[in-house]
Amino acid sequence: MLMQQILIAGQWRDANSNKSFQSSNPATREPLANEYPVSTWEDCDAALTAAAEAVVGLRSISGAQIAEFLEAYATEIENNADAIVDMAHAETAYPKPTRLAGGELPRTTDQLRQAANAARTGNWSVPTIDTNAGIRSQYGAIGPVAVFGPNNFPLAFGSISGGDFASAIAAGNPVIAKANSSHPGTTELFARCAHQAAQRTGMPAGMVQLIYRTSHTDGERLVADARIGATGYTGSRHAGLQLKAAADAAGKPIYLELSSVNPIVILPQAMEQQHEEIATEFTSSCLMGTGQFCTNPGLVVVLKSGATDSFIAALSEQFSEAPVGTLLSSGVESSLESNLEILVNAGAEIVVGNTPADSNRYCYANTLLKVTAQQFIADPETMQTEAFGNSSLLVVTESMDEVNAVIACFEGNLTGCIYSATDGSDDAAYNQIAANLQSKV
């Protein structure tokens, strides 16, 4: 096994580390060949020092030059597309043609080129001349940005290739990227492309840097360091809130996209008229990508009725018959199982699933749980435990008052959805709940 190097101050070098980890192939559970170091604070400190020096260097570099780097980086990615897609497939089991080569990769290069255009025009800085007050202002670079990428979008949301990275660089900020442990090899390939592009376009040595993993303590120390300008994080709620607490305590900006249960409310007449179609739509949405999207619908609120019983029966059948997809890692698999156990122990009824599936790969049976509105209202925090993956929770209510009471318990979410009848027969119910749900999304 080969220990991979980190990128610090423009140089690939050995990490200061006494621990390492490996990624694995989710489709086989087998570890992949390379080892990756767990960096100590010494590496983080070196990256911060180099990034602070890059801030000074970037002051004399124009937006047009930054655009040249971003465009060169996008081209370098395209030149190495096969290797990147092969590695991402090995580390995630995502399909190559549809998800990786045909979806995420062009999205990645497109957003880098969009960022290049923003850097070249400078429109992001919103230059303003207030003649009445005699004030001229514009936004500027904030300083080194730490970026933590998620496990489920290795290319388009990656710490050294995604939107947080692209926007930080476009605004003239150096980036310290922390790879996600599920796909360090993919992140390394991106870093090598970025490093080549940075060297070719004359960027400061510390503008793009990569470490693979740190301790939780060092991660919190990194986002709170005086040299950090801001942090971008996409991932789990638990880890994100820990980083946010550390950044907040130091008065440092941190921008987070956290996990979410993304509630759906199905109104009575929509259920009566379309329960079969909605069941098919919901199953497809919930199980797409094995449920590993931040917008995956993890909670459905319905009113008790005969049509609702038919809807649940249809869901049970479709969840049972649908192929069980592959999960991203052993961590995702164990987290899904343990979080479903939390829901069941809190009183959720198992409609279908909640059992291990194929032992040869990371996976878990398509799972649907059910609770009453009163159960949900009695313990809303537990009932909103995100079981990230191919699962969802049904909340069955007795009245529109209970629907509103359930919605009132919701935490913040990335998305929300209401199904209402197209003939206007649900309009009164819609008007009762829409504003309440909107305030939770």
Q: Which residues contact 309 (CB under 8 A, 6 or more apart)?
A: none
317 is catalytic: no
Instruction: Say which amino acid occupies 278.
Output: I
What is the C-alpha separation between 96 and 103, in angstroms, rounded?
Answer: 9
User: Which DSSP string corresponds to 324-386?
Assistant: PPPPS-HHHHHHHHHHHHHHHHTT-EEEE--SB--TTSS-B--EEEEEEHHHHHHSHHHHT--
Selection from 212, 180, 150 nearest residue 7 by Cα:
212
What is the C-alpha separation between 222 and 231, in angstroms, rounded?
Answer: 9
Q: What's the per-residue H, E or C state across 7-69?
A: EECCEEECCCCCCEECCEECCCCEECCCEEEEECHHHHHHHHHHHHHHHHHHCCCCHHHHHHH
Active-site choice (35, 53, 78, 257)? 257
Selection from 4, 2, 20, 22 nearest residue 12 by Cα:
4
Q: Which two tokens stand for residue 110?
A: 């497109």
What is the C-alpha separation between 60 and 322, in angstroms, rounded?
Answer: 57
Q: Three-class SS of residue 258?
A: strand
What is the C-alpha separation between 214 and 44, in angstroms, rounded?
Answer: 8
Q: Which two tokens stand for residue 328?
A: 């991203």
Backbone phi, psi, residue 255, to 5° = -115, 120
395 beta partners: 301, 371
> Cβ distance 340 to 298 under 8 Å?
no
What is the C-alpha separation between 181 and 105, in angstroms, rounded?
Answer: 20
Selection from 291, 58, 77 nearest residue 194 by Cα:
77
257 is catalytic: yes
Active-site choice (44, 193, 294, 363)? 294
User: Which DSSP string corresponds to 165-193?
Assistant: HHHHHHTT--EEEE--TT-HHHHHHHHHH
210: region left, alpha or beta (phi > 0 left; psi from -120 to 50 alpha): beta
Q: Active-site residues: which are they?
A: 257, 294
